[in-house]
Structure 1
Amino acid sequence: MENKEFLSKLKRGISEIISEEELLKKLSRKTPLRVKLGVDPTAPDLHLGHTVLLRKLRFFQDNGHKVIFIIGDLTARIGDPSGQSKTRPMMSEKEILENSKTYQEQVFKILDKEKTEVVYNSHWLYPLGLQGILELSKNVTVAQMLHRADFKERFKKDIDITILEFLYPLIQGYDSVAIKADIELGGTDQKFNLLMGREIQRAYNQEPQVVIMMPLLIGTDGVKKMSKSYGNYIALNDTPKDMYGKIMSLPDNLMLDYFELLTDFDINEIKKLIKNDPRAAKAKLAWTITAQYHGEEQATNAQKEFDRVFSKKELPEEMPEFRTKQKEWLPVELIFKAGLVSSKNEGRRLLAQGGVELNGEKISEQQKISIDKEIVIKAGKRKFCKIILEK
């Protein structure tokens, strides 16, 4: 593939490249480039938001380049301050190691294992030592750090910023020196850290990396970026049924972004489909993404189950069961005990919104439930439970 054609295809969904001229220069050397992505293992599950970057890495691999996937086992202990209004709590080494194992299992659902080098940044950061940290720290000023939007906001509001947080972008930048990165990928919220990598490479007499930034995928709530902490995420380890159902429940205005960032379909064709038949477009999106991570057969089964339950209003073929000897229940108590909600407050909110059904009929918080043999409770859009009375 010619460099200009490569660049044209690469730019799909990208927010910014710093800079295109430098990237073309690196590509013109006709040698495999070292493409870096660093991820701190702060949670056990990767979600579709992570795959925006992973898919772009796979594009580089498919065109002959080498991916360096850095697991930030040391930087995770500091905590990335990007977008944070307060200092993150420090993680334990045990948590980090456990999460790291699941990351490696999940990234190879997308990346080519043979063209991926997985490294831990503690391997070069621990040996750096105090002398190395002092040398590294002299390359940036406090004034530069306070230009960063999140630090500037916290400083203005007199919210503590630790020296440890100042070190984070320096250390992430040194990762680029350690692996001699030609390119680094990251989300738009990582711009300060990514540019710091260029500065640190210059300070260590390396050619600065090209920075490629991708937009942040909006979560299932349609408002905030996808994140486990916001509860609006679709995990790679979700069951096919859950993954398909969550995608089908996305707000329609997110569909085009999801198609562009998470699939390879022609965007002009997708625009037409969304305009003419939005439900068919969403079903195509849900099936395609579910098939990517669970296979076509599982995606088709998930689609059939979804259509049966939500289009034809039939009951799921399989659902969890809750057995009880208590015949009379208040709705909020029952849906909480049956595990359909995580708290009684959530249950009350759901009941107030008309989101709980007993055998297909909506119920209110005041209505008493009497169980005769068995009943089916539906909570929200996708949760069902068979309640069985034990003698």
Structure 2
Amino acid sequence: MDIKAKIDLIEKGTMEVITSEELEEKFKKDKPIAYTGYEPSGKIHLGHAITVMKLKQLQEIGFKIKILLADYHAYLNGKGTLEEIEETAKYNEKCFKALGLSEDTEFILGSSFQTTAEYTEELYKLATLTTLVRAKRSMDQVSRNSENPKVSDAIYPLMQVADMISLDVDVALGGMEQRKIQMLARENLPKINQNPPVCIHTPLLHGLDGDEKMSSSKGNFIAIDDDEKEIKTKINKSFCPIKEIDGNPIIEIAKHFVFPNQEKLLIERPEKFGGNLELNENELLDMYVSGELHPMDLKNAVATYMINYLANVREYMANN
């Protein structure tokens, strides 16, 4: 595969790549490093799986993958004691392996390097360059909207930038909620003689309740290790407005998980309601918007697909 084909593959299904020209330069390295960080704070769900799918693509075309299990970040974010977070991190690592990342994926605890003198020095340098207003703009949405944010909320984004130095990152991958922090990295790393990463942003999945983000803390998710009954129940109860595709989590699951892996989705329904259908993505969207495809028929089809899609994950989790 030539470099252009590799870049086209990376860009497919992403919201943006900043920048494609810089990404082309990264391929000149023998083994460029792509990283993403996850806060060990709960179940691994389909929102995480979107970034893992992109990590797998990067891995297949020659990138070394580093996954930061950001235990100190979780601690600063009030997600439990360090001991509790460590146990969650072990579970999360097992989940990421179950999703099919190769054996040479490197899993790194933040606490393994975030108290070193070298890391602290870089963090202090970044702190002198970053205003409180800029730090607040990079905080997560909950912290930004808080009337009384903590100092830890402002340290959090600076640590993410410092992580990129310690992990020698060429490419930083994250959902669109990470964009402000990644732009902070691109803005400030050159000021301390460090190379800025290429930034790849993947879409966010809406929560099953229609919330703007699928989140383990909100309970509006499908966990990758949910059993068949849980998947079926959660999808059947989910928000799926008739004729509406924007912000519809079931449509999004079909878009991001079904059609990248197969051309058509089987819709099973009784003859009195029109009989079975096999629809490609455009046909499904057209029929749903027109009202010819009922939300429950869509839900049943997506639930059946996701039960099969996650079967290998459930098997891995049960046997490892």
Please give the TM-score of this superposition, normalised by the length of structure 1.
0.65
Aligned to 1:134: 124
Aligned to 1:353: none
Displacement of 1:292 after TM fit? Answer: 2.5
Displacement of 1:140 after TM fit? Answer: 1.7
Displacement of 1:200 after TM fit? Answer: 4.6
Displacement of 1:245 after TM fit? Answer: 3.6
Q: How many residues align?
A: 285
Superposition CA RMSD, Å: 3.0
Displacement of 1:37 after TM fit? Answer: 0.7
The 8 Å contact of residues 145 and 151 in structure 1, kept in 2 or not, is answered as no
Distance 1:223 1:135 in 2: 37
Please tell me the residue identity of whatever aligns with 2:81. Answer: S
Cα distance, 1:53–1:283 mapped onto 2, change above 3 Å: same
Aligned to 1:145: 135
Displacement of 1:147 after TM fit? Answer: 4.5
1:318-337 to structure 2, matched below 5 A, reads none
Distance 1:5 1:187 in 2: 23
The 8 Å contact of residues 79 and 85 in structure 2, kept in 1 or not, is answered as no
Segments of structure 2 that go 5 or more residues without pairing to the other structure are 265-278, 288-292, 316-320
Aligned to 1:99: 88
Aligned to 1:73: 71
Cα distance, 1:4–1:131 mapped onto 2, change above 3 Å: closer
Please tell me the residue identity of whatever aligns with 1:15. Answer: M
Please tell me the residue identity of whatever aligns with 2:98. Answer: K
Segments of structure 1 that go 5 or more residues without pairing to the other structure are 80-88, 299-391
Distance 1:151 1:16 in 2: 20
Specify which of 196, 206, 215 is matched with residue 208 of structure 1.
196
Distance 2:135 2:121 in 1: 21
Displacement of 1:256 after TM fit? Answer: 3.5
Distance 2:8 2:185 in 1: 25
> CA-to-partner distance for each residue in 1:34-61, whole Å, 9 max, x for gaps?
1101011112x11111111111111111
Distance 2:211 2:142 in 1: 24
1:13-92 to structure 2, matched below 5 A, reads 13-27=13-27, 29=28, 31-43=30-42, 45-79=43-77, 89=78, 91-92=80-81
Please tell me the residue identity of whatever aligns with 1:74. Answer: Y
Displacement of 1:142 after TM fit? Answer: 2.5
Displacement of 1:17 after TM fit? Answer: 1.6
Please give the TM-score of this superposition, normalised by the length of structure 2.
0.78
Which structure exhibits the higher relative contact order, with contacts defined as CA atoms closer than 8 Å and separated by 6 or more residues?
A: 2
Displacement of 1:32 after TM fit? Answer: 2.7
Cα distance, 1:269–1:40 mapped onto 2, change above 3 Å: same
The alignment partner of 2:115 has SS state of: helix
Aligned to 1:270: 281
> CA-to-partner distance for each residue in 1:314-356, whole Å, 9 max, x for gaps?
xxxxxxxxxxxxxxxxxxxxxxxxxxxxxxxxxxxxxxxxxxx
- Percent of pairs identical after alignment? 26
Specify which of 137, 148, 158 is matched with residue 170 of structure 1.
158
Please tell me the residue identity of whatever aligns with 2:148. Answer: D
Computing the radius of gyration from Cα coordinates, the structure with the larger value is 1
Specify which of 206, 212, 223 is matched with residue 235 of structure 1.
223
Q: Does 1:287 align with 2:304?
A: yes
Cα distance, 1:20–1:292 mapped onto 2, change above 3 Å: same
Specify which of 216, 221, 243 is matched with residue 209 of structure 2.
221
> CA-to-partner distance for each residue in 1:191-229, whole Å, 9 max, x for gaps?
111122334532442321011111210111123311122
Displacement of 1:188 after TM fit? Answer: 1.1
Please tell me the residue identity of whatever aligns with 1:179. Answer: L
